[in-house]
Structure 1
């Protein structure tokens, strides 16, 4: 019996020794998995397209617009104003069109006679009272731009002109 008791004692001793190894093995396995996950995360974020938002910020930064190009509609427009004879009767206005597209500038040059004709009709319908203050001049400017864009859209399919500027505005 003593042999059986020794065998049981040896088995108990082995169990005491084996048990501490199991938690150490689990800890080592967890450490290896964590290191692998960290390595995978570094690899994933090091790939192109994952620049910690720097690329996204660079894309959101507005691009510089193309340089403005101006086209003067020469000579100046001179029209009779509508309304009673006791006030101003003539309007002389110099107009320049602004665009940022070279193709639109060529379209403006090509269709300048049609643009001038439509602007003459618009300016001749204005009365002196309508353009007596800044708000009236700004409204006329906006209407003139809409007229130019309408002509260009009918001819080219695109509005073309970005802005219409009065570089001289005289009533007499």
Structure 2
């Protein structure tokens, strides 16, 4: 009984210490880009993006690749139709696409995805 409690506590401490090692990288300034509209007017979106880095020691590596990652996010958003940009489900899909691309690029550049999650913390569109 004592051994199982000790094991459980060890697992809990291990998971807590791992979670506390995360770091967040925010793209500054906010990303502003156009998207595809069905009308002749131009649509744009302004968003704040945060990357949840799995290990705080990789913050500088992610920061170094920020221009590449920013460009990829802008390209993905710029290819999206207005219907997707303006819907909640569409935004979740865009977020997923951006996260996958960021992880892919970081893996190509560093050999590891380094990022656990990509978060849109602000989203304004017209």
TM-score normalised according to structure 1 size: 0.63
Please say if 1:165 is aligned against 2:115: no
Contact persistence 1:107–1:152 (CA under 8 A): no
Choose from 89, 95, 98 the match for 2:43: 89
Segments of 5+ residues of structure 1 without an aligned counterpart are 1-49
Q: Which has the higher strand share?
A: 2
Quick check: 157-166 or 86-95, which moved more?
Answer: 86-95
Contact residue 144 and residue 164 of structure 1 kept, 8 A: yes
In the alignment, the residues of structure 2 paired with residue 101 and residue 71 of structure 1 have an alpha-carbon distance, to the nearest angstrom, of: 12
Larger Rg: 1
Structure 2 partner of 1:108: 62
CA contact (8 A) 2:86 2:125 kept: no
Normalised by the length of structure 2, the TM-score is 0.83
**Structure 1 residue 86: deviation in Å?**
5.7
Does residue 142 (structure 1) correspond to residue 93 (structure 2)? The answer is no
Aligned residues: 123
Q: Could you tell me which runs of 5 or more consecutive residues in structure 2 were left unpaired when the two chains were aligned.
A: none
Please state how far the C-alpha of 1:121 moved relative to its aligned partner: 0.9
Seen in structure 2, the aligned counterparts of structure 1 residues 134 and 88 have a Cα distance that, compared at 3 Å, is farther
By relative contact order (CA 8 Å, sep 6+), the higher-ranking structure is 2
Structure 1 residue 103: Cα displacement: 3.0
Q: Which moved more, 1:124-133 or 1:99-108?
A: 99-108
Q: Deviations over 1:90-138 (max 9, x none)?
A: 1111111111302321211010111111111111101110122211111
Distance 2:115 2:107 in 1: 10
How far does residue 142 in structure 1 lie from its aligned partner after superposition?
A: 1.1
Classify 1:51/1:73 alpha carbon distance in 2 versus 1 (closer, same or farther; 3 Å). Answer: same
Alpha carbons of 1:91 and 1:59: their partners in 2 closer, same or farther (altered >3 Å)? same
Please tell me the root mean square deviation across aligned C-alpha atoms, in Å: 2.2
Q: Distance in 2 between matches of 1:123 and 1:165?
A: 14
